[in-house]
Amino acid sequence: MIVLGIESSCDDTGAAVLRDGHELANVVASQEAVHGPFGGVVPELAARNHVLHVVPVIERALEQAGVGLVDVDGIAATRGPGLVGCLLVGLCTAKALARRRGVPFVGVNHIEGHLLSIALDTDVARPFLGVVVSGGHSALYWARADGGYTMLGQTRDDAAGEAFDKAAKLLDLGYPGGRAIEEVARGGDAHALRLPRPRVKGAALDMSFSGLKTALWQGVSASPGMPLADVAASFQRAVVETLAETTRRAIGVTGAARVVVTGGVSANGALRDAMARVAHEEGAVLLVPPLRRCTDNAAMIAYAGWLRLRRGESDPLSLNAVAELPLGPRLAPGEACV
C-alpha cells in the first residue's frame, strides 16, 4: 500500500511517501528564514507559505519516491492540533487529491504522528511511555497496548521549545532558540544561575515553563557580567531537569519498560543524556528517533495514517482542521496504566 502524507500544522511544509509503512521519500520545506526576523512563527505568514510550498513539496516527494499520484492508495494529512490556517492548507490539499483520485483519506493527530515517528526505524512494542517535546507541545502519553493513548500530563503554559525560543529572544540569540542556546551553553557553568524548577500542585506529571523566562530575566538583570555561556547552560539545565524528573515520575506511575522521546527539543544533547540516565536508573529502555524524524515531518503523519488505512478505515471529506485536538483521555486519579 502506497500512502502519501502531508504535514502543515506549524511552519514546516512536509510531504512523504511510504510503501507498506516504509519510507520512500520525506520532504520538508522549512520556513525558518521567514519567521526568524520575528523571533517566532507568524501564523498568517506560515499559512501563506504553506500555500506556496505544498504542491511543489508533494511533487518532489513523489518524484523522490519514484511513484506517480496514480500509484497512491491512500492520503493522510494532519488535522490538528496546530495553527488552523496552516492545517487547512495541507488538509484541503489532501482531501482534493483523494477526491480526484478516488482513494481514501484520513486525518491524523499531529501528536500521534510524533509518537509513532519512532516506528519508522525501530520496532517498538506497546505499551510505551511517550514524551513529546517541541515548540508547540510538551506532554507525556501512555501509548496503550490496545492502540489508544492516555494523556498523563502536560505543560500548563509554554511548551519546552517555546521556553527555549523565548529565552533565546531575551538573550538576543535569534530564532529558533533551542539550538542557539545549546551551542552557547557549551562549556558554560550550569550551576551559575539559580533558577526555579516549577511544579504544578497536585499534578505531578504536569509542567510549567512560563515562570522560567521571568526568573531568567530577573537573574540576568541581577547578575551583570555573568558569561552568556553560564546563563544559557543554567537555563538549559532547568528545562532539561524539569522534563527528565517529570519523565522519572511518569515511569514510576506507569511502570513503563520503554520510553520514547521525540519532538524538536529532543535534538538537545543535554536532554538526551538526562533522559538516558533517568531511563537507565528506572530500568527502562530509551528510544529516540533520528533527528529528522523528531522535528515536524510528513513521514510520521503518513505512518499514523497508514495504520488506519490498512485496516480499511477512512475519514469523510467533511473532516475539518482543529486547533485543539486531544490525543486520548487524561489519566484518571487511581487509574492503572495497561
Binding partner selected for residue 179 from ligand KG4, Zn ion, none, CB under the kind-specific 5 to 8 Å limit:
ligand KG4
Counting residues that bind ligand KG4 (by CB under 6 A) gives 20
Q: Is 146 exposed, middle or buried (0-12, 13-18, 19+ CB in 10 A)?
A: exposed
Beta-carbon count within 10 A of 162 CB? 23
Question: Which of the ranges 94-102, 115-123, 178-186, 307-315 carries the binding residues for ligand KG4, by CB under 6 A?
Answer: 178-186
Q: What are the grid coordinates assigned to 124, written together? A: 517498538
- Number of residues in the chain: 338
Which residues sit at the interface with Zn ion, rule CB under 5 A? 134, 296
Nearer to ligand KG4, 38 or 313 (CB): 38
Judged by CB under 6 A, the stretch of 48-56, 94-102, 242-250, 261-269 that binds ligand KG4 is 261-269
* Stretch 294-333: interaction string toward ligand KG4, x if CB under 6 A: -xx-------------------------------------
Phi-psi region of 80 (alpha: psi -120 to 50; beta: other; left: phi over 0): left
- What are the DSSP calls for 294-318, one per residue? HSS-SHHHHHHHHHHHTTT----TT
Out of 7, 112, 158, 165, name the contact with ligand KG4 by CB under 6 A.
165
Start-to-end CA span in the chain (Å): 31
| Closer of 66 and 269 to ligand KG4 (Cβ) | 269
Tell me if 267 contacts ligand KG4 by CB under 6 A: yes
Residue 274 binds to ligand KG4 (criterion: CB under 6 A) = no
Q: Which is nearer to ligand KG4, 126 or 186 (CB)?
A: 186
Identify the CA nearest to 287 among candidates 151, 118, 116, 117. 118
Q: Does 31 bind ligand KG4 (CB under 6 A)?
A: no
289 binds ligand KG4, rule: CB under 6 A: no
Binding piece for ligand KG4, criterion CB under 6 A, among 28-36, 100-108, 132-140, 308-316:
132-140
Distance CA 203, CA 333 (A): 10
In terms of CB distance, is 28 or 94 closer to ligand KG4? 28
Residue ranges in 142-161 that form contacts with ligand KG4 under rule CB under 6 A: 161
Tell me if the bond preceding 316 is cis, omega within 30° of 0: no
Contacts within 8 Å (CB) and 24+ apart, 54-59: 54/6, 54/8, 54/13, 54/15, 54/89, 54/90, 54/93, 55/93, 56/29, 57/13, 57/14, 57/15, 57/27, 57/28, 57/29, 58/4, 58/6, 58/15, 58/93, 58/97
Could you say whether residue 14 binds ligand KG4 (CB under 6 A)? no
**Interacting residue with ligand KG4 among 90, 130, 219, 263 (CB under 6 A):** 263
Tell me which residue has cell 530564532: 175
Min. distance of Cβ 161 from Zn ion in angstroms?
9
Task: State the residues that interact with ligand KG4 by CB under 6 A.
Answer: 10, 134-136, 161-162, 164-165, 176-179, 182, 263-265, 267-268, 295-296
